[in-house]
């Protein structure tokens, strides 16, 4: 099942499992935080604090999950996370105070550290090596609808069976849907992609080594931290930010609804035209979209709100794919899972602090807080522009020429 002809089945299974994983964790508090807080006798910010703790736990665990995928393959790691997710959701449904709330989110953080996008990207690279770019795009296209599916379903379940019943329902879905889908993944017989020089990178290039690799690693960690900070800040504060720029509440909600489709459109663009470009070039173009959109919103105001939302969403959609493809094209497949996990640690920590920090900026400066997110976006663009690139194998007589089979 690991061959190219089975790739669509693997992408469909993994993409659906990822949709479930994101909908039942990352997008859960948006719908259930208020009834959860009311029932547990805590404030709503306390619920989000527990969620932030889960993000920190996932950041610290992620390199170890990547190393496990490098060693044993995707199937045992990802399928085990369905059990962890189910346990965490059941614990959340049984929480009766702050201790139970935080304890449940710690368990969910363990699942998030080994069961969300970064683990899925590692799984695909472990299975398909240099030909993983289209597969990575494919699962982000499917899982891009996690909020579209998760928010209404969580809301429906909460109204029908309460928030505790909703958590139990999501736990059951992990065991009945997510687990079988992850068990469809091929077994990894050996770490061929990690040791075969012909699988070094997704193009005719020598992976970065030594000082150039260290420099690229630092810059890439900065890029990921900056882009995840912006993405999470906008997810938490976009309606309020648009209202500060003169939009009405109704307009802000309507404009916010454009971000999801714009993300999917950006990923379709990556799957079509941009896949002919080097991943570093498409990432640079994507990193510029938020600062340009922010500038338009600052200088034009509410009439530019829709343009800003579309540009931000499309850029964010492409950069999600870059989280998986850039480490592959710069460093190759060897040790991909552990390296990619380490690169994402600052990003997850930035993500955990983003709602609070950007909220302070919004309280202090109003619409001028866009200068902050725009500057951070430009910082990411600058880091991508300064990124060293792998050298062409054809330039080295000792290195064999490898012809890429990816389209």
**Which has the closest alpha carbon to 259: 291, 324, 307, 323?**
307
- Does one domain contain both 19 and 160? yes
Instruction: Give residue-wise pLDDT tens across range 341-380.
Output: 788 888 888 888 887 788 888 888 988 999 999 999 999 9
> According to the model, what pLDDT value does residue 199 have?
43
> According to the model, what pLDDT value does residue 98 have?
94
- Among 187, 215, 240, the domain-final residue is 187
- Does one domain contain both 168 and 234? no
Q: Cα separation of 389 and 296, whole Å?
A: 32
> According to the model, what pLDDT value does residue 205 have?
58
- Does one domain contain both 255 and 361? yes
Note down the domain range covering 355: 197-389
- Does one domain contain both 360 and 219? yes
Residue 260 in domain? yes
Q: Cα separation of 306 and 303, whole Å?
A: 7
Give the containing element (helix H, strand E) for 356.
helix 336-365
> According to the model, what pLDDT value does residue 395 have?
40
Write out residues in the chain with pLDDT < 70, as ranges. Answer: 1-5, 188-206, 390-407
- Among 187, 212, 245, the domain-final residue is 187
> According to the model, what pLDDT value does residue 250 have?
80
Whether the Cβ atoms of residue 370 and residue 300 lie closer than 8 Å to each other: no
Q: Cα separation of 88 and 107, whole Å?
A: 5
Residue 397 in domain? no
pTM score: 0.76
The domain total for the chain is 2
Q: Cα separation of 191 and 309, whole Å?
A: 42
Residue 243 in domain? yes
> According to the model, what pLDDT value does residue 194 have?
42
Instruction: Give residue-wise pLDDT tens across range 78-87.
Output: 999 999 999 9
> According to the model, what pLDDT value does residue 206 have?
65
3-state secondary structure of 78: helix
> According to the model, what pLDDT value does residue 358 have?
86
> According to the model, what pLDDT value does residue 104 have?
97
> According to the model, what pLDDT value does residue 292 have?
96
CATH number of domain containing 34: 1.20.1250.20
> According to the model, what pLDDT value does residue 143 have?
83
Q: Which residues contact 265 (CB under 8 A, 6 or more apart)?
A: 310, 313, 314, 317
- Does one domain contain both 84 and 223? no
């Amino acid at each position: 099942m690991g061959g190219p002809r089975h790739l669509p089945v693997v992408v469909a299974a993994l993409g659906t499992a990822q949709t479930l994983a994101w909908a039942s964790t990352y997008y859960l508090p948006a719908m259930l935080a208020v009834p959860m807080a009311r029932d547990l006798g805590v404030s709503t910010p306390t619920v989000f604090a527990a969620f932030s703790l889960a993000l920190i736990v996932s950041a610290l665990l992620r390199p170890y999950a990547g190393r496990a995928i490098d060693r044993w393959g995707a199937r045992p790691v990802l399928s085990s996370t369905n059990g962890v997710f189910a346990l965490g959701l059941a614990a959340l449904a049984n929480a009766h105070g702050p201790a139970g709330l935080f304890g449940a989110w710690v368990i969910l953080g363990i699942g998030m550290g080994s069961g969300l996008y970064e683990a899925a990207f590692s799984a695909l690279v472990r299975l398909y090596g240099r030909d993983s770019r289209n597969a990575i795009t494919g699962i982000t296209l499917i899982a891009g609808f996690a909020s579209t599916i998760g928010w209404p379903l969580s809301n429906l379940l909460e109204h029908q069976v309460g928030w505790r019943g909703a958590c139990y329902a999501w736990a059951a879905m992990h065991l009945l849907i997510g687990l079988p889908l992850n068990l469809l993944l091929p077994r990894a017989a050996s770490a061929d992609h990690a040791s075969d020089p012909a699988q070094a990178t997704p193009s005719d290039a020598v992976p970065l080594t030594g000082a150039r690799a260290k420099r690229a690693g630092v810059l890439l960690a900065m890029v990921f931290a900056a882009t995840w900070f912006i993405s999470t800040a906008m997810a938490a504060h976009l309606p309020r930010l648009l209202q500060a720029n003169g939009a009405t509440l109704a307009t802000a909600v309507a404009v916010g609804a454009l971000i999801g489709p714009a993300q999917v459109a950006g990923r379709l663009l990556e799957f079509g035209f941009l896949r002919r470009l080097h991943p570093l070039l498409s990432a640079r173009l994507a990193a510029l979209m938020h600062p340009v959109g922010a500038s338009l919103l600052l200088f034009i105001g509410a009439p530019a709100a829709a343009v800003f939302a579309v540009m931000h969403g499309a850029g964010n959609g492409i950069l999600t794919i870059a989280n998986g493809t850039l480490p592959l094209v710069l460093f190759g497949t060897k040790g991909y899972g552990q390296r990619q996990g380490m690169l994402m640690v600052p990003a997850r920590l930035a993500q955990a602090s983003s709602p609070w920090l950007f909220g302070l900026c919004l309280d202090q400066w109003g619409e001028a807080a866009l200068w902050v997110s725009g500057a951070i976006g430009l910082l990411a663009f600058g880091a991508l522009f300064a990124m060293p690139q792998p050298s062409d194998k054809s330039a080295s007589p000792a290195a064999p020429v490898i012809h890429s089979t990816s389209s």
